[in-house]
Homo-oligomer: A and B are copies of this chain.
Amino acid sequence: MFFEGSEKKAEIWIEPTSGSLRALPYSFWKQIVSLAKADILSQMGNDKCDAYLLSESSLFVWDHKIVILTCGLSTLIDCINGFIDAIGVNNIKLLTYQRKNEYVAHLQSSTFIEDIAMLRQRLAGSACRVGHLDHHHHFIFTSGAFNQIAPQDKTCEVLMYHISGIVADYLRTQQQSIAKIYSLLQLDELFAGFTYDAHLFTPLGFSINGIKDNFYYTIHITPQEKSSYVSIETNVDLNHYPIDIAAKLLAILQPRSWDFIGFNIQISSPNTPENICLGHCSYPVKQGYNIHFSHYQQLCPEVLIPEYL
């Protein structure tokens, strides 16, 4: 029942002079995501953005930018390299590539260090690890010229581990529906006005993409009991929004621990459930991002269940 929910993620901006990415045909994206060992399950779009639900997470395409997340044993680095080669390395304006430490890292076909060695054959860039090796940590590679990114360009990631409670229990049942999950997560309220596209996986798992104008959100749920993981990622400014989306989703999904990662935004944890920030870190990258990372854990000790092997 184990599934590696943790995503690898890339955000790539291209030079506006190189045409619109949204003019590229479906067959192009199908081929590009296949390099990461992913398929396109469905697609939707609005005036600004196309959103693809993948067999391994999500792809968003704007005129001059893509965001792609892939989980499981996907090989996102091959997809990134394929994209750079197809677009032409001189047309790449900015690239960030990010990996979370996996639950079972040795199953992955490459390490982050190996990934960026390949990437650096195409693009110069700097790479960083935040978080101790024996704890939750993230690797981030960034490439591009100075100050490409405006301060108002923000990305929020809320990553949850070991979810519990009524909604987590429901997500582990066999008789689920997209409508019921959408309702339990209160997404109609949290992301009001967003068009969405969702998928239920067999035996377990839920993905949803939402778009509204230039904004996107994407939620991926790996509910498997011993390695549950939920990621919420959005370019909505969570600190200036009518609802505290992070607090709401933490209350609904009740994780034991969670990470906040913000690009040009520092997200704070709610007080409920009672929790402690075990470590945090902020640092600037020359492309114009201030990157913020923090890891929280519920304050009450957990009685661990031995897992027989």
| Chain A residues in the interface with B (C-beta under 8 A) | 101, 103-106, 108, 111-113, 116, 126-136, 139, 161-162, 226-227, 256-257, 276-281, 283, 293, 297, 299, 301-309
Cβ contact within 8 Å between A105 and B105: yes
Cβ contact within 8 Å between A103 and B309: no
> A279 with B302: in contact, given A103-B133, A106-B105, A135-B135 (CB under 8 Å)?
yes
Cβ contact within 8 Å between A129 and B280: no
Q: Which residues of B contact A227 (CB under 8 A)?
A: 133-134
Q: Which 5 A-B pairs have the closest CB atoms?
A: A281-B304, A127-B309, A279-B302, A277-B301, A103-B133
Query: How many monomers of this chain does the complex have?
Result: 2
Cβ contact within 8 Å between B306 and A226: no
For A4, give the chain B residue with the smallest CB separation: B133
Q: Which residues of B contact A293 (CB under 8 A)?
A: 304
Assuming A105-B105, A139-B309, what are 12 further A-B pairs, CB within 8 angstroms? A106-B111, A127-B308, A128-B307, A129-B306, A129-B307, A130-B306, A131-B304, A132-B162, A134-B227, A279-B301, A280-B302, A280-B303
